[in-house]
């Protein structure tokens, strides 16, 4: 269940979060665990209902926190609240953009980046509020301790700490076919002490395979890419440590 929640909540965010976090030029290396870095708090617009998606997270080793909220009002009210608040916060860099029906306001001050993305849905506004460490302050990294098949690269890495338990979600792009990737992981994971306990899919166009090692859980979700080289596949690895 925890694996499914991680995938459902985190992956839709990557489409707009990862590009922003990969704008780093020359950056300083940092060995500190990103999940131990404290990020500043930022206020949800008064009157909104909100919840954490992740209070301690990292995308490609960049610390980040994410809240989602629903505000009973207009998108213009949300816009005015954050523009007024951030303009009074200091001499930071403020920018705005529109993507479809969603508005995005970003504010960068010192080492931190604040962002709110919101859209009107009926009488309410649904939004995401994000705080992250600037990628200019820390070198992005997609390194992992999980094995990788040949001809495969990590497209993104998302880490989180929830209730004292860590998780890591990798999105992989592979130039291997589905059966080859499945064979690789079954052999490597079983050699590393993982036990397979469930599997679904035909194993040719896609598959979902779950493994367990003592208290750890690992789910492999793989699908062949349509309309491209038949030996290409996309892999999602969810590791609850």
At residue 90, the pLDDT reads 79
- Please report which helix (H) or strand (E) contains residue 21, including its range: helix 2-21
At residue 4, the pLDDT reads 46
Cα 157 to Cα 176: distance, rounded to the nearest angstrom: 20
At residue 6, the pLDDT reads 44
Which residues have a Cβ under 8 Å from the Cβ of 127 and sit 6 or more positions away? 48, 68, 69, 70, 71, 78, 116, 117, 118, 119
The pTM of the full predicted model, rounded to 2 decimals, is: 0.81
Instruction: Kindly state which CATH superfamily the domain 152-240 is placed in.
Output: Mog1/PsbP, alpha/beta/alpha sandwich (3.40.1000.10)
| C-beta separation of 211 from 218 below 8 A | yes
The CATH code that applies to domain 35-133 is: 3.30.530.20
The token pair at 97 is 């953009």
144 three-state secondary structure:
coil
Helices (H) and strands (E) in the chain, counts: 3, 12
The token pair at 84 is 């007024």
C-alpha distance across the termini of the chain, in Å: 14
Give the residue range(s) of CATH 3.40.1000.10 domains in the chain: 152-240
At residue 91, the pLDDT reads 86
At residue 17, the pLDDT reads 52
Cα 65 to Cα 164: distance, rounded to the nearest angstrom: 16
At residue 203, the pLDDT reads 95
- Given a cut of 70, the residues of the chain with pLDDT beneath it are 1-31, 227-230
Cα 52 to Cα 236: distance, rounded to the nearest angstrom: 23
């Amino acid at each position: 269940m925890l694996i499914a929640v991680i995938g459902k909540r985190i992956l839709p965010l990557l489409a707009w979060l990862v590009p922003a976090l990969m704008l780093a030029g020359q950056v300083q290396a940092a060995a500190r665990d990103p999940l131990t870095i404290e990020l500043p708090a930022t206020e949800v617009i008064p009157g909104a209902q909100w919840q954490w998606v992740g209070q301690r997270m990292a995308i490609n080793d960049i610390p980040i926190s994410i809240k989602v909220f629903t505000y009973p009002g207009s998108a213009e009210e949300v816009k005015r609240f954050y523009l007024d608040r951030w303009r009074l916060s200091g001499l930071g860099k403020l920018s705005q953009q529109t993507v479809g029906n969603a508005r995005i306001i970003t504010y960068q001050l010192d080492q931190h980046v604040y962002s709110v993305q919101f859209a009107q849905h009926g009488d309410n506004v649904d939004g995401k509020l994000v705080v992250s460490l600037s990628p200019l302050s820390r070198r992005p990294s997609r390194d992992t301790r999980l094995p990788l098949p040949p001809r495969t690269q990590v497209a993104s890495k998302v880490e989180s700490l929830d209730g004292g338990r860590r998780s890591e979600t990798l999105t992989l792009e592979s130039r291997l076919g589905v059966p080859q990737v499945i064979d690789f992981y079954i052999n490597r994971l079983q050699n590393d002490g993982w036990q397979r306990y469930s599997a679904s899919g035909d194993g040719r166009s896609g598959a979902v395979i779950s493994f367990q090692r003592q208290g750890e859980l690992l789910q492999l979700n793989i699908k062949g890419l349509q309309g491209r080289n038949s030996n290409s596949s996309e892999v999602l690895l969810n590791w609850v440590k």
